[in-house]
Structure 1
C-alpha cells in the first residue's frame, strides 16, 4: 500500500533550490564517493578467497544462523539460511564470501566466540587474515565510514548517513519521494529553515533507529528517515485541512481527499506493524516511524515560532490567481452591463480585498461612487484614487481626479486641507501653475493657516524663479498679510 500527498503542483518560476540541491548532493555522493565501494568489495572478496577464509567461516555462519533462529527466536532468518545453504551447494564462492564479509554482526560474533569455534592454529590464521581484510577494505566502505552504526554512534554520522544509499533502486526511490514532498515543505518553511528541519528529522530518525537497534553493527544508510520527516511536516502543516492524496494498491490507483493529519496515524501504524511482522527486509521501519514523528512534532512544537509556515504558502499560485481574478472580474463587469450597480460594487470590493494590487478595481469603485456625488463614499474613493495615483507616480492623473471632484462632490463633502496641499505640491512639480493656484485657493478656504502660509511662500518663490513679478508680488503681499 502506498499513500502520498498530492495537493500541490510545482511552480517552476520559483524552483525548490534546496530540494534540488539535496537531490544533487545525494546523487554526487552515490556516484563519486560510493562508486568505489564495488571495487573495494571485489578486492576484499578476492583476498578473502585467496586466504581460504570462506572454508573456515562458512560452517560457522550456518551454525550462527541456526542459533539465531532457534535460540534468539529470529524466524525471519530462515530464508537467509536457506539462501546461504543454496550458495554452498552450488559452489557460488564469490557471493557466499560477499555475504560473509558484509555481515557485520557475524564478524562480531566470530570475534567473541573464536576460541570456541576453531583450534588455536586456525584461530591465529583467521584473526590475522580477517583483521587485515576488515581494516584494508571493509572498514573503508562508505557505509562503514559514514553510515549510522548504532554500536558506534557518533554525531557526524547522524547527518552523513542521510546522503548514502544502498543501490540504484534505493536512491531513485528516495529522490523521487524527496522531490514530491520537498518542494511543498520548502515553499511552506522557506529554504533555510527547511534545510535545517530536513537534517534534524534525519538525525532524530537515526536516534530512534539506534534506540531500537542498540548494540547493532549493521550500518543504516539512506534519506528515508529524513523523507519520512518531510511527510510528517507535510501533514502537520496542513493540519485538519482536507487535501488530496494519491494511493496505490497492487495494480489499482486513485485519488481521495481527507484531513491531512488523519493520514499520520495510518503511516505510523504501517511502519510499526511492518517492524514487528514484515521480517528481515532490510528496511529501517523504526527509522521511518521516528522521522514521521520528528517531522510532525517539530511543526507542532515550533510552528508558532521558528518553524512558522510562511503566509504566502497558502495563497494560490499566480496562474490560479489570474484565473480566479478573470472569472470574478467578468462577473462584476456583467453586473455593470445589467446596470445592477449595487451588486457590481460588492463584487469589485470583494475582488479588491483579494487582489489589492490591481489598480483597475479602485478605478471601477471610484466611477461607481461618482454616480452618487452627494454621498461620503465618493469623497473616500476620490482620496484613495488620488493617493494611489501619487504612489504610482502619476501626478497628472491625481490632479485630474481632484479637479473632477471639485466640480461634482466638493459642494457636498469638501476635501481636507491636506488633500489640496498634496495637489499643490504635485502641480508645482509638474509646472502646472494654474492648477497650483487653484489648489491654493481651496487651501485658503479650508482654514489651515500653517499649510496656507507654506503654500503661499512656495508660490511666491516659484513665480520669482519664472520672473513673473506681478504674480510673485501678489503672493508676497498675501504672505506678509498672514
Structure 2
C-alpha cells in the first residue's frame, strides 16, 4: 500500500531549486559516477569464472546458509537456499558466480573460516585469486566506495550514500518521492535549512541502520532514509491540521483527509513491522524508521527557533487566493450597487489588507474617498494612487488624479510641494506642457523656492527647445526675479 501526503500544489513561479538540485545530483551520480559499475561487475564475474572459484565456494555457501537457518533462526533464508540449489541443478554458472561473488557477508564468513573450510593448498589458491578479484573489481564498486557499510562506518559515507542508487527503478522511485515531498518542505523551511535538515535526516537514518546491522558488510545506498525524514518533517509541520493524503492499494487509488500527525505512527509502525516480519527483501526498513523520527523530531525540537516555518508557507495557494478575492470583490461591488458606501469602503479596505498588489482596490477606495473631499482619506488615497500610477508607468493616470484633486480636494488639504513637483516632471516627460505649467503654479504658490526655481528652469529650457520664445522669456524672467 502506498500512502503519501498531497496537500500542496507546486508553484512554478517559485520553483523548489534545492529539491531539483538534489534530484539532479542523484541523477548525475548514477549516470556518470556509477556508470562504471557495470564494467566492474562484468570483469569481476569473468575473472571469477576463469579462476573456477565457484567450485570452492558453492559447497561453503550451502553450509553458510544452513548454519544461519539452523543456528541463527533466519528462516527467511530458506528460499535463498532453495533458489541457489536450483541454480546448481540447472548449471547456471553465471548466476551462481553473481550470488557468491557479491554476497558481502558471505565473503566475510569465508575470510573468518577459511582455515576450517579448505585444506592449505585450496586455501592459498582461493586467498590469492579471490583477494585479487575483490581488490581490483568488487571493492571499486560505487556502493563499496561511497556506500554506508556498518562494519566500516565513516562520517563521509553518512552523506555520500544518500546520493547513490542500486538501479534505475530505485533511482526513479526515490526521485519521484523526493520531488513530491521536497517542494513542500523546502517551501516551508527555505532552501538552505531544507538542505541541512535533509542531509541530517539521511545521516541519522544511516546511523539507525548501522545500529540494527552491526558488523554487516552489506552497503546501504539510496535517498530513501532522507526522504523518510522529509515525510516526518512534512507531517510535523502541519501537526494536527487535517491535510490531504493520496493512497494506492492494488489497482485502486483515492484521496482522504486526516490530521497530519496521525500518519506518523502508521508509517513508523509499518516500517518496524516489515523489519521483523517481511523477511529478506533488501529494503532498509529501520533506516526509513530512523528518517521518519529524525524529521519529525527536528521540527518539534527546533520548530520555534532555527527550523521555524516561514510565514508565507501558510498563505493560501494562488488558486485559493483568487477564489477568495473574487468572492470578496463581488460582495464589495454588490454593496456599491446598493449605495452602501461605508460598507463597501470597509470591504475594499479588508480586501486590500490581504491583496495589496491589486490596484483595482486602490482605484475603488480613491473613488469612494472623492465622495467626501473634505476628509483626510481623499488626500491620502489620491497621493497613493498617483505614486502607484507612476510605479506602473501610467503617467496619464497620475496627471488625471492630480487634476481631479486640484478641483475637489486642494482647498481642504493642500498637497505637498514634492507632490506638485513630481507631477510637473511627469507632465514634462509626457509632453503635456499645459498641465506642467499648472503644476508649476501650484508648486510656486506652495512656497518652496528651491523646487520652484528648478521647475522654472526646466520649463524655460523646454519652451526654448520648442522655440516658444514668449513662454521661455517669461520663465527666464521669473528665475531672474527669484521666482
Interval containing the TM-score (normalised by the shorter chain): 0.7 to 0.9
Whether contact under 8 Å (1:421, 1:443) holds in the other structure is: no
- The answer to whether 1:68 aligns with 2:73 is no
Match of 1:49 in 2: 49
Whether contact under 8 Å (1:456, 1:475) holds in the other structure is: no
SS of 1:79 mapped into structure 2: helix
CA–CA distance in structure 1, aligned partners of residues 136 and 459 of structure 2: 94
1:285 CA drift (Å): 1.0
Match of 1:385 in 2: 385
Match of 2:204 in 1: 204
Match of 1:232 in 2: 232
Cα distance change, pair 410–32 in 1 and its aligned pair in 2 (3 A): closer
1:150 CA drift (Å): 1.0
Unaligned runs of 5+ in 2: 464-468
Match of 2:158 in 1: 158
Cα distance change, pair 23–413 in 1 and its aligned pair in 2 (3 A): closer
CA–CA distance in structure 2, aligned partners of residues 455 and 41 of structure 1: 82
Moved more, 131-140 or 356-365: 131-140
Match of 2:277 in 1: 277
Cα distance change, pair 474–135 in 1 and its aligned pair in 2 (3 A): closer
CA–CA distance in structure 1, aligned partners of residues 420 and 276 of structure 2: 79
Cα distance change, pair 43–440 in 1 and its aligned pair in 2 (3 A): closer
Moved more, 372-381 or 223-232: 372-381
- Root-mean-square deviation (Å): 3.2
1:220 CA drift (Å): 0.6
Alignment partner of 1:439 out of 435, 438, 442: 442
- Cα offsets for 1:303-342 (capped at 9, x unmatched): 4555444444344454554454344434433332333333
CA–CA distance in structure 2, aligned partners of residues 414 and 271 of structure 1: 72
Match of 1:408 in 2: 408
Whether contact under 8 Å (2:241, 2:260) holds in the other structure is: yes
User: Counterparts in 2 of 1:8-407, with a 5 A limit?
Assistant: 8-304=8-304, 306-392=306-392, 394=394, 397-407=397-407
1:364 CA drift (Å): 0.6
Unaligned runs of 5+ in 1: 445-451
Whether contact under 8 Å (1:425, 1:436) holds in the other structure is: no
- Cα offsets for 1:245-286 (capped at 9, x unmatched): 101233432211123233222222221222222222111011
SS of 1:134 mapped into structure 2: helix
Cα distance change, pair 84–456 in 1 and its aligned pair in 2 (3 A): closer
Cα distance change, pair 321–85 in 1 and its aligned pair in 2 (3 A): same
SS of 2:243 mapped into structure 1: strand
SS of 1:372 mapped into structure 2: coil
CA–CA distance in structure 2, aligned partners of residues 11 and 433 of structure 1: 45
1:145 CA drift (Å): 1.8
CA–CA distance in structure 1, aligned partners of residues 35 and 294 of structure 2: 31
CA–CA distance in structure 2, aligned partners of residues 196 and 361 of structure 1: 42
CA–CA distance in structure 2, aligned partners of residues 21 and 470 of structure 1: 66
1:218 CA drift (Å): 0.5
Cα distance change, pair 392–258 in 1 and its aligned pair in 2 (3 A): same
TM-score w.r.t. the length of structure 2 is 0.85
SS of 1:243 mapped into structure 2: strand
- Cα offsets for 1:389-428 (capped at 9, x unmatched): 4544556544543443343344555556765676577678
Whether contact under 8 Å (2:87, 2:96) holds in the other structure is: yes
CA–CA distance in structure 1, aligned partners of residues 394 and 11 of structure 2: 34
Moved more, 219-228 or 456-465: 456-465
CA–CA distance in structure 2, aligned partners of residues 267 and 285 of structure 1: 11
CA–CA distance in structure 2, aligned partners of residues 295 and 261 of structure 1: 12
